[in-house]
Chain A
Amino acid sequence: MHFEFQVEGGNFSKAGTASSQLKKILKQLNVDSRDIKRVVVALYEAEVNVVAHAYQGVIIIDIDTEKIRIRIEDEGPGIKDIDLAMQQGFSTASELVREMGFGAGMGLPNIKNNTDELTVTSEVGKGTNVHMLINFSI
């Protein structure tokens, strides 16, 4: 099964919409609740990253009986040093974003902790691509 969602940069009132819709889809597909929890945490964080940092993005999801593959491709400033961005506590979020309780440098670590495969590629000035894979437990 294939799904796509658009993400609008800067629009925090819609952050989490794709995660919420995917959660409903996975429930309907009877995916194990522990797997749904992992997918939801990983996708939500990726969605918020696009909202907080990029201009716009697209989420491309492919699901089969064994796994879910999610690609998040954004147009935005990109990431200069991906290893640094992956570190717990590192953030370049704005003051406003931090006041909302985001930007604590926990997003990418949360994604890593909840996925079986994670690849982040980025070109400064163009955008960032995040590929993640989660194997279903049953």
Chain B
Amino acid sequence: MNVKEIAEKLNLKVLSGASGLSNEISFGYASDLLSDVMGNAKSGEVWITLQTHKNVMAIASLKDLAAVILVSGLQPESDMAAQSDEEGIPVLSSSEDAFTLIGKLYELLKK
């Protein structure tokens, strides 16, 4: 399933990085600790977090993640959005909290 399909199914807003909407999502990783994501996320995964600063995109890019989903209606800081556009890694926003969103996402992505 690609980023665009997930966004449509879960009613997520695309906030930046729209050129990466066709990125294929392999699975998901949820964490707000950056070193946890650095050490344990796998390429092609979508990252669910409440962190909204630019370093999120540095990690998403270094780890070849498919997209980032911000929970609870959070918005990216402007330099995070700018880097998302530059890298072609979409930042999406959900109005739902992490638990609810991840539950739905898991149902869509589980193998």
Contact = CB atoms under 8 A, between A and B. Distances in A.
Interface of A: 12-13, 15-16, 19-20, 23, 37, 40-41, 44-45, 48, 100-102, 104, 106-107, 109-110, 113
Interface in B31-60: 32-36, 38-39, 43, 49, 51, 53-55, 58-59
B79 interface: yes
Nearest to A114: B39
Task: Give 8 nearest A-B pairs by CB, closest first.
Answer: A16-B58, A106-B35, A110-B39, A101-B34, A104-B33, A101-B51, A40-B62, A101-B32
Main secondary structure of the interface of A (DSSP, over half): helix
Contacts of B62: 16, 19-20, 23, 40-41, 44
Interface of B: 32-36, 38-39, 43, 49, 51, 53-55, 58-59, 61-63, 79
B38 A13 contact: no
A37 B54 CA distance: 20
Main secondary structure of the interface of B (DSSP, over half): helix
Contacts of B55: 12, 15-16, 100-102
A45 B53 contact: no
Nearest to A13: B54
12 contacts: A13-B79, A19-B62, A40-B63, A44-B38, A100-B53, A100-B55, A101-B34, A102-B34, A104-B36, A106-B35, A106-B39, A109-B39
